[in-house]
Every structure is written in C-alpha cells, then in structure tokens.
Amino acid sequence: MAQSTRPLQVITRLVDGSICAYDLAADVGGVLSPAMICRPSAEDDVVDHAVPADLQRAYYTTLDAVVCVTADGTEVWRSEFEPQSDQQFGHRPSCVLSLDGLVVWVYRPDAMAGRNRPDQWVALDAGTGAVIAQADLDTVGHGGQHLMHPAGDQVFLDVGEGQDGSVIYRASVADGRMDLIRYPWSDRCLIDLAPDGRQFVTVAHEQADVAIHTYPDGEVTFILAVDAFGHDPDEICVEWSGGYLNQDTVIVTLAGETEDEQEWFRHYRVDVRSGQVQAAFDAHAENPYDIQLLGDGSWLTADQSGHPIRWTDA
C-alpha cells in the first residue's frame, strides 16, 4: 500500500450541540474519543466548524457570522455577515482552516441569503478575524465544500448551485490579495484531493461518471462511466461520495434501487495508475455518505452517537 503524504489533521464533528475535535495523528482505530470538546454559544446555530492542531480554539459558521471561541467556549472574535439574512433555508456558510492554522477560509452564499450581492469567498486572520483578502464569486450557491491542498498554500472550493450544477475554484492569498482560479466546468463536483496533491477526483453533477484530474490544471487522466463498473447506466448512478483510500486507490460509490424499490449502494476500488476497476470495498457504512477517506489507508464512518469510527484497510 502506498503511504500517504497528506498531513493527518484534526477533524471535527458536531455531537449533541458541541464541537468535538479528534486528533488523527494518534495511531488508533475504532470509535474515536474527542481530544477537545467546545460548547458554542447557546444562541448560535452552528453550520460548519474547524479546530486547529493545537486544540486551543474552535471556529464555526452560523447563517450570519463566523465565530472564534476558546476551548472553553469563550468568544474571541465574531465576524458578522451584513446585513442579517431573513432567509432560514437554502444557504449554508462553510469554513476551513489553513494547514498552519493562521487563516480561516469562509464561503458566504450571500446571493441565496438575500443580501443583494454576489457570493463571497473570504480569507480571515485566524487570530483576529480581520479580512486578509476576499473575492466576489460568479455563483448563486446553496453551500460550499472546502478542501486544503496538502502543500498548504492552496485551497479548493466546490460551490453547489442545486439543479444548476457545481462550480470548482482554487485560491491562495499573498500580499493581501486573493489569487482566484475557476475551473472551466459547471457540471462536475469535487470529491477529494490525492494524498500527494498531484491529482483530484470529481463526479459528474448528473452522476453519470467519475473522473481523475491532474493538479493544478485539471486535465482528465481518465473517466469511468457507470457501465465500467458492470451496471446499467439507465438504472444506476455514481454518488457524490468516496475519495482516495491511499495514493494509488480511489473509492467510488454507486447507488440504485432493487425491483421492489429498496435503495442500495456499493463502494468500488479503482486503481488510479491504470484506471482499472478492482474489487468491491466494504466501508462498514450505513449510507453512501457515511464515509470519509483519510488517504493513508484508513477512513471514518460514524457510530450512533455521532462520534467517528476509524477503520483500516486490511
């Protein structure tokens, strides 16, 4: 098995209203115990969350703000999204921390929030909440998924526009300016980055295929339609889930219905060097999206309490 060069970071879950942080650098399996538990303000409805490697603070978004608190829940700073939105649904701001913990990247779906302005992507100083750089996006998104490049200076953002598709951006900041690049598609969803950062994987918005792309240019290395997995493309689709099990293996998820309309899903291994579909993969997952690949041969699902379970490939 190829070893991951992706830095194993702290991951977070929202469990019973608390932000729980888990240290993935610890060589453990099974149900993970939180290394930090942070209780946000009772007035805040947490949408997304992140914790740095030193476990000293937590960052989270609400519908109208991004907030920094200490481990005991004391507020350090709050950056409001003005004006306050009167829309309760259809817009979910997201955030991610840079690998060095110095920058908080925030996606603001301002158009759907009714703020009469374009969507925003903002880089904030993690210590103070001050704006380092920001950019208007040409999207009307409901939410966005961030992925940090393993090299640490680039961040990806996939903005979901509902039935209108999905837009993928890449950016970095330098000298108070955001260097923003939009990939030339509106019909592909970003799923994961390779552990060494040299590739990334996308799934067609209409769920007809999965593709491997080179980084940074996005050139397609190979593309696999549903029939490559031995299924009927008129009845089966590729789910927007999966990712890199390790440097050489991507997990792809297919889903469909039985004759009596019972939903099913199945994970498959794909060799990224040859583009060949390999054996089915047992993720021990309850649904197609209950899996987070870590790139080092292990992955996470969730137990009934909401805490992650770490599994390792045999």
Average pLDDT over residues 87-99: 95
pLDDT recorded at residue 1: 34
Q: Which tokens sit at 256?
A: 């469909």
pLDDT digits (tens, 9 = 90+) for 228-262: 999 999 999 999 999 999 999 999 999 999 888 89
* Residue whose C-alpha is closest to residue 12's, from 45, 43, 57, 42: 57
**DSSP assignment letter at 196:** T
pLDDT at 27 over 70: no
Is 29 exposed, middle or buried (CB count within 10 Å of its CB: 0-12, 13-18, 19+)? Answer: exposed
Whole-prediction pTM: 0.95
Which are the contacts of 36, defined by CB distance < 8 A and separation ≥ 6?
Answer: 20, 21, 51, 55, 58, 71
Q: Which CATH number fits domain 40-186: 1.10.260.40, 2.160.10.10, 2.130.10.10, 3.40.50.460?
A: 2.130.10.10
Q: Which tokens sit at 302?
A: 């969730």
pLDDT at 2 over 70: no
pLDDT recorded at residue 4: 46
